[in-house]
Structure formats: structure tokens, C-alpha cells
Amino acid sequence: MSKSMLTAKLILSAAVALVTGVLTCNAAPGARLHTTMSSKSFFVGEEFVYEILVSHATKVEVDEVEGDDTLAIQFLKEEHIKRGDLSTVALRYRMVPLRAGAVMIPSLSIQVGDQVLMTDEEVFIHVKQAEGYPGMSLVRELPDRDLYVGEPFRANYTWTSPLSLNGFRAVRLDLPLFYHQGFKIRSPHHWIAGDDKAAIGLPAANTRLIARYGNVTAGGLNFHTVSFTKIVVPVKPGEFALSPATLLTSYVEPPGKGGGGSGWKTNYPSYFNNNFFATMEGETYEKYFAASMPRNLLVLPLPDAGRPRDFAGQVGKCRVTVTASPTVLRAGDPITLTIVVDACEFPEVFELPDLSEQTAFSRQFAMPPRQSTGRIDGRKKTYIRTLRPLGQEATVIPSVRIPYFDPGTKSYGVAESAAIPITVKPAEMVTAFDAAMRGVGPLRNHVDKNPQGIRANGGSARAVDERVLSGHHWLVLLLVLPPLGFAIFYVATTRQRLAMNDPVKARAMGAMKRFRRSVARMSRSGEQSPAQQLGQLDDAVRAYMADTLNLLRHAHTFEELEAILGGRVDIEPLRQVYASAEYEKYRGTASHPDVAALIRQAKQCIQSIHQVKS
């Protein structure tokens, strides 16, 4: 073999060895996989951590894994562990078995470099159902009849326990109705206040609800009850088989005897939030289970026969009455409608039809695009709406129609208010010059004297004396500047921290400053029409009220302000601001009020409100 051939062979062998080394490094052939969990036997609803350890790895890629109706799975975190030259990646999952029997943990695919590792496909856990306790029950009450799409009904739940609630260290409520796609869940209005002494917080269906605590006596025994109710609205027809509502508890006998003990507090008991099957030294926990009966619900579609053309989906009878003020006015002036919907069994889910989409209203009246929501009082819901007649042709406020379907008679009906006669007079004509020159006080610029004269920049020649700081001065600065800098930073970020912790309070605190800034911009904006000035004033006043009282900026009304501030401060000067806004939109070339006078009145009134709120 020649010398050149030998050299070429050596170079080729070196190249092959180099490529092989690189591929071996990328493949991470030493990566290994190991899985751990605390046990292989659990109760239904008992959480456990499933951990996957990948050794000889610094970076892994894992496919997402989803649970099913037997096992709920949630990824917790990925942790990197370094011990000497050994690198390990730990993947942790929280798992909750949802039914009894043999439950399989799904196989997971993990990629390490060019390697793909798989967990075992035959990993099973044994899941047991907790036993019931004599006298403990969970009852779910639903209507015992067929329902219609859109028909609200109440779902009542009651947990009855002969055991003291002080002993329950965890509660897991599973309410299938709450996350069923065929139904929409709403809370009753003021069913119980959160600060009520009988209010008790419960974790349920991945959320938290407020229930009512009580006591009953049966057969000479005392029972504790925890009850709550929700409004349910079917959203599609069909026959639905509802699984039982279930309750899984972890209980340890509390010290002492009696129903609740002197330390019992119903309002959000903290121990309901503890780790579900956590154990403490010296305490033995029992697991108790209760379930309601399964139910079938048949939801029927609404019939087509007799359906009014303007039917908007209201299911359930109601009445409607309307009052208007004023009824004698000029074109473009606002009319306040008070619409009361009464005899409504579920005002929480009632929605008033949009009057602006009804031809009888939109033809002769203008309405703001945004309106305030209704106010619920018992079975009554009150709405405030604002109309502006477009001209003298408007002689009557049309009837407010609410078509509904009555499940009792299985027929359609219409709740209708009486029409309200009105008198609309022509609007007054005022020129822009009149609006600009009206009011008291001079409107021209003038010069004031400065009694102090012109002052020098410095008090003495020492003001321009440049001297280098000594070491003593630098030491003082080093001691003083850090705490001074922190104090300045703390004060400077006070408003920002408040905005993060309590944005409603932060907006209220800055409302007056923003109002004054807006009014100052109006005075510096130069030549503007009265309509533009009025629009800016309306924006400034509404923004202040919205920020101070936590209202919607362009959806609240003057009547709402009277209800909130009435008796504490005179807000009558603001009535004309609210009533006169949007003239250009509703009156065209009609009259404008004295804008300068309105600005002065608004500033004085809001200053009074600010002093009262402060």
C-alpha cells in the first residue's frame, strides 16, 4: 500500500469517528425514564401526584395529555435537577380518579434529543368509592315535568349531615348540571349576602359558591344542612340524562361534643380549602360519600304556531308599565322613560327588547346606543331609557311590547304598555355669537400687575461658586441617598400600586384631577362652537361621575345620580348638562344653552360632590 493511500484511509477513518461521536452526543443514548407515585390505591376524588423522572437529560419535549371521564389530569411543573455530572428532568402531574374500579394512567411520549421514550402502557391504579355515613345525604331538586328551551327553573341542592361541620377537612362537590352544554347557569339575585351569618363558602364544579347553613331536627336527632340554589336555563332541545350530583368528604372527629362548638363560623370555613386527604399527626381521617338520584330532563322546542313576529325569546309571563317625564317639551329635549317589568318569576334572566330596533320608536325618536341595565327588586325589574323626539310630528310614545311564551298554557302572549301622548314644541333658535357672549363677567383678556417685580436668578455670588465635594460630603450622600431614593420611589409608585390592587378606588381618587384638566383644555381650545363645548363638558362630567361612583360612562342617567347622591348634595345644576348633551345629534341646527353658565354650574356642583365623597 502506498503512502498516499494510507494517509487517505487514516483521514477517512478520523472523519467517520468524528461524525459518529457527534451523532452519539445528540442522541443522548444514556437517557432513562422512571415513574413514581405515592400509592396505587386511591379513593374517588383523592388527588395524587404522578412524577416522571428523565435522567441524563437537560431538555425534554412532552406531548400534551388529556384526561377523560375516569381520570382528570393537570400538568403541574417541570423541574431541572443537577447532582454532580448527572442532569435529571422531573415532570409532575396532578391526577384525580373520577370513578371506582381499575383506572389506567395513559402512556406519555417524551422526546430527549433524537430519542423518544414512552412510559408504560399498562399502568393501572385501584380506585375505591368512599362509604356513606348514616343520615348523610345530598339531594338535588329539579322540576318534575317537561321544560321548554329558554324556560328558567331552579335547581336546589341540600347537603344534610348528622356530623359536625367542624370535622370536615375537605369537601368536593361534583355538579354535572353546572358544566352541561345544554344548560346555562345563573345566580339568583340577593339569594343570600356574603356577609350573612348563615353564609358558607363551598368549592363546587371548579368554582366557589355561597350556600346557606341551617339546622333541622328529625327523629329526635339534630342535623346540619348546607343548601344552595341556581337558576338554570335550557339552551337547546333534547332528552338529557343527568348524572348524580356527588359529594366526597374527608372527616375527622373534632374535640368536644355538640353540634358545632363555640368556635364554629359558617362564613367561608378555611378547612374546606385544605388538601383533600391531607393527614396530620394524631388524626385519623374518614372518607364519606353521598350522591343525589340521577335524573332525565326532556327539553322541548318552542312551537312555531302563534309565535309573534317580534318574539325575542322571553319564556314566562310578565306585565309591563311605562311612565314618561316630561310629556310637554321641545324637539330634541330628552324624555325619561321608566319601564317596570312586573310579575316576572325570574327577573335575573329577563332582557328588555332593544327599543332602537323597533320601527315605532326609531322612526320618530332618537336613543343613545348604550343603556343602563335594569334594577331588580323582588319579582320586579326597572329600566330607565332616554328618548328624544326628532320633530313635532312625534305626538305619542308608542307602546312597549314584550312578546312571551307561557309554558303553563303552552301559548304565546304579549305584555304591552299603554301609549303615552306627548306635546312637542318647536326648538328655539340661538346664534353662536349669543351663546359665546352670554353670562356674567368680562370675556376679554386682561393684564394683571406683578407687585414683586423681576427677581434675580441667584441671591448672591455664591450661587455660581463651583466647588468639589469633600470625602465627608460623599459619605453623607452615600448614607442618605439610598433610603431617600427608596422613599421617592415608594411615593412615586403609590398610585400605580393602588391601580393594581384596587382599580375602582384608584379611578375615584383621580377623578377630580382629570375633570379639572378636561375643563382647562376646554378654555384653551380656542374657537369652538357651542355644540362642541357642550359635548366636551358632557364627556368631562360623565367621566367624573363614572369614575367616582363606579358607573358606565355613557350609559348612566341623571335619575341614577339622584338615587345615589340624593339628600347628600344638590345635583340639580347637572340636570341641564345631562339633558342638553348631544344637541347636534338630536336637534340639528336647533338651539344651544348658555355653555359658559353650564360650565360654572358643573364645576361648583362637582366640587360639592368631591367634598362630600372625600
Q: Please report, rounded to a whole number, the percentage of residues in the chain having pLDDT higher than 90.
A: 28
Asked if the model's pLDDT at residue 312 lies above 50, the reply is yes
pLDDT at res. 358: 86
Mean pLDDT to the nearest integer, 11-17: 46
Asked if the model's pLDDT at residue 274 lies above 60, the reply is no
- Rounded to two decimals, the pTM is 0.57
Mean pLDDT to the nearest integer, 168-186: 87
Mean pLDDT to the nearest integer, 124-128: 91
170: β partners: 250
328's enclosing H/E stretch is strand 328-330
Q: How far is residue 614's CA from residue 610's CA, in Å, rounded to a whole number?
A: 6
pLDDT at res. 317: 94
Of residues 407 and 554, more confidence is placed in: 407
pLDDT at res. 469: 61
CATH number attached to the domain at 319-425: 2.60.40
Closest CA to 269 of 176, 165, 122: 165
Q: What confidence category does residue 327 fall into, taking pLDDT thresholds of 50, 70 and 90?
A: very high
pLDDT at res. 283: 62
pLDDT at res. 115: 84
Closest CA to 176 of 98, 286, 89: 98
* pLDDT tens figures, 366-385: 988 777 788 999 899 999 99
Q: Read off φ and ψ for residue 365, nearest 5 degrees.
A: -135, 150
pLDDT at res. 5: 52
Q: How far is residue 62's CA from residue 112's CA, in Å, rounded to a whole number?
A: 9
Q: How far is residue 602's CA from residue 614's CA, in Å, rounded to a whole number?
A: 18
Closest CA to 50 of 104, 100, 98, 99: 104
**Cα 482 to Cα 137, 308, 486, distances in angstroms:** 63, 75, 6
Q: What does the angle CA 16 – CA 22 – CA 24 come to, to the nearest 5 degrees?
A: 100
Asked if the model's pLDDT at residue 38 lies above 70, the reply is yes
Q: What confidence category does residue 347 fall into, taking pLDDT thresholds of 50, 70 and 90?
A: very high
Mean pLDDT to the nearest integer, 342-356: 91
pLDDT at res. 437: 37
Whether the bond into 326 is cis, omega within 30 of 0: yes
Of residues 219 and 586, more confidence is placed in: 219
pLDDT at res. 251: 84
pLDDT at res. 240: 94
pLDDT at res. 400: 95
Q: How far is residue 446's CA from residue 450's CA, in Å, rounded to a whole number?
A: 13
What is the overall mean pLDDT for the chain? 79
Mean pLDDT to the nearest integer, 349-365: 89
Asked if the model's pLDDT at residue 579 lies above 60, the reply is yes
Asked if the model's pLDDT at residue 473 lies above 50, the reply is yes
Q: Please report, rounded to a whole number, the percentage of residues in the chain having pLDDT higher than 70.
A: 78
In contact, 31 and 61? CB cutoff 8 Å: no
Asked if the model's pLDDT at residue 160 lies above 90, the reply is yes
Of residues 15 and 75, more confidence is placed in: 75
Q: What does the angle CA 222 – CA 227 – CA 233 come to, to the nearest 5 degrees?
A: 155
Q: Read off φ and ψ for residue 400, nearest 5 degrees.
A: -90, 120
- Residue by residue, DSSP assigns 489-550 as HHHHTHHHHHHHH-HHHHHHHTHHHHHHHHHHHHHHS-S--HHHHHHHHHHHHHHHHHHHHT
* pLDDT tens figures, 414-459: 999 999 999 999 876 544 433 333 343 443 333 344 444 444 444 4
Asked if the model's pLDDT at residue 15 lies above 50, the reply is no
Q: How far is residue 259's CA from residue 51's CA, in Å, rounded to a whole number?
A: 42
pLDDT at res. 609: 85
319: β partners: 342
Q: Tally the C-alpha atoms within 13 A of residue 158's C-alpha that lie toward its C-beta.
A: 13
Q: What confidence category does residue 339 fall into, taking pLDDT thresholds of 50, 70 and 90?
A: very high
Q: Comparing 64-68, 152-156, 551-555, which segment has the lowest mean pLDDT? A: 551-555
DSSP 191: S
Asked if the model's pLDDT at residue 311 lies above 70, the reply is yes
Q: Scanning the structure block, which residue is given the C-alpha cell 332616554?
A: 386
pLDDT at res. 70: 85
Q: What confidence category does residue 116 fall into, taking pLDDT thresholds of 50, 70 and 90?
A: confident
pLDDT at res. 226: 92
Arch. (CATH architecture) of 32-128: Sandwich (2.60)
